[in-house]
Amino acid sequence: MGGLEAPVTSDGFTHLRPDGTAHMVDVCGKLESARESTATATVLTTSKVLALLTSDQLPKGDALGVARVAGIMAAKKTSELVPLCHPLPLSKVTVDFELLPKGINLLATVKTRGVTGVEMEAITAVSVAALSVYDMIKAVDKHAVLTDIKVLAKSGGKSGSWTL
């Protein structure tokens, strides 16, 4: 028993009503399941910034600590930022960092038990975390670049699991 499906317009769109206007899909008939998604982003910067970052000498302070909290907060606020997202009870949000020779790789994983997936929450978390890194380093590198923002994996729900 897969639960109710979102109504689909004649053009195949679930988030459009027959008159072509957008609406939030009704998910009340869907079955709950454990759901998880992971997204990534990269902040390209200079070796000088990476040295300041690893020696706790950035002018604004602990960039990664601030970015981690910003990413967690963003995941929780996704439905307030993305108009057609449903508010979800998140059970876990992690934001992690890997220092690269020319930047920082960010990874966010979000989990819930609910009726819709958490891909948008994961990509929002990693995007805002990357923005926060930029904000924390811009005093020493105004030319840092945010790149490669994407969902890497999801699991749960009717459509199952996939990995990029």
Question: pTM to 2 decimals?
Answer: 0.88
The confidence score (pLDDT) of residue 25 equals 79
Phi, psi of 63 (to 5 degrees): -60, -45
The confidence score (pLDDT) of residue 12 equals 64
The answer to whether residue 135 is catalytic is yes
CB atoms within 10 A of CB 2: 9
The residue annotated as part of the active site, out of 11, 19, 62, 135, is: 135
Domain with CATH 3.30.70.640 in the chain: 33-163
The hierarchical CATH code for the domain 33-163 is 3.30.70.640
- Asked whether the predicted pLDDT for residue 11 surpasses 60, the reply is no
Q: What angle do CA 37, 145, 60 make, to 5 degrees?
A: 90
pLDDT in tens, 92-135: 999 999 999 999 999 999 999 999 999 999 999 999 999 999 99
